[in-house]
Chain A
Amino acid sequence: MYVTAVGRIESDLGEFAKQADRLQWDGAGRFVIRHLASGA
């Protein structure tokens, strides 16, 4: 199977990693991707 990298997450990933670890224990969580407020 091939995968395509379509984006990058910027800035500190520490909190993101903590939340990802919690999914293992707590089950599925809500994940939101939205446009930047600036519209850039």
Chain B
Amino acid sequence: MKPIVVEFDGHTLRGALLDDLAPEICSRIWKALPLEGPATNTIWSGDMLRLWVEIPEPEQPEHVVPLQHPGDILFIPGWNGLRFVYGQARMQGPSGAHPVPLVGRLDGDLSSLAAFGRKVEWEGNRPMRVAKG
């Protein structure tokens, strides 16, 4: 696994890319780090932040999972960016659920990320950064 750090509003969370399970996508993300951009909440998917950055698209999806859990990091081919799950969430659009590649995990206490998600919901987009750990 490749170690990463996620930074937002003075907080830093540690995590890892699951390159053993999604090697091609994680390689593209790793090469693109550091990534920095605005974060918003997703519209349809619950407690999930979207980091608006551009990652070179993989040829095909890897490690696709139908359910998501707090701490999951997702990459959705075609929609790009990264998604960070901080509570009850399931990736979906107006037509229903979308199984998506699970590409990483955040470690430890996620309460700061959950508070950040609530702040973004009420106050608008905020900067977020992902770097090699």
Binding site for B on A (CB under 8 A): 24-28
Contacts and interface: CB of A to CB of B under 8 A. Distances in A.
Contact of A28 (B38, B40, B121): B121
A24 B121 CA distance: 7
A26 B38 CA distance: 11
B-side interface size class: 10 to 19
A13 B123 CA distance: 24
B34 interface: no
Contacts of B121: 27-28
A25 B43 CA distance: 11
A28 B41 contact: no
Contacts of A26: 124-125
A17 B92 CA distance: 19
A27 B125 CA distance: 7
B122 A25 contact: no
Contacts of B124: 25-27
Given A25-B38, A26-B124, A27-B122, 11 more contacts: A24-B40, A24-B43, A24-B125, A25-B40, A25-B124, A26-B125, A27-B121, A27-B123, A28-B121, A28-B122, A28-B123
Nearest to B120: A27
Nearest to B125: A25
Contacts of B123: 27-28
B127 to A, nearest CB: 13
Q: Report which residue of A24, A26, A28 has the largest number of chain B beta carbons within 10 angstroms of its beta carbon.
A: A24
Contacts of A24: 40-41, 43, 125
A24 B39 CA distance: 10
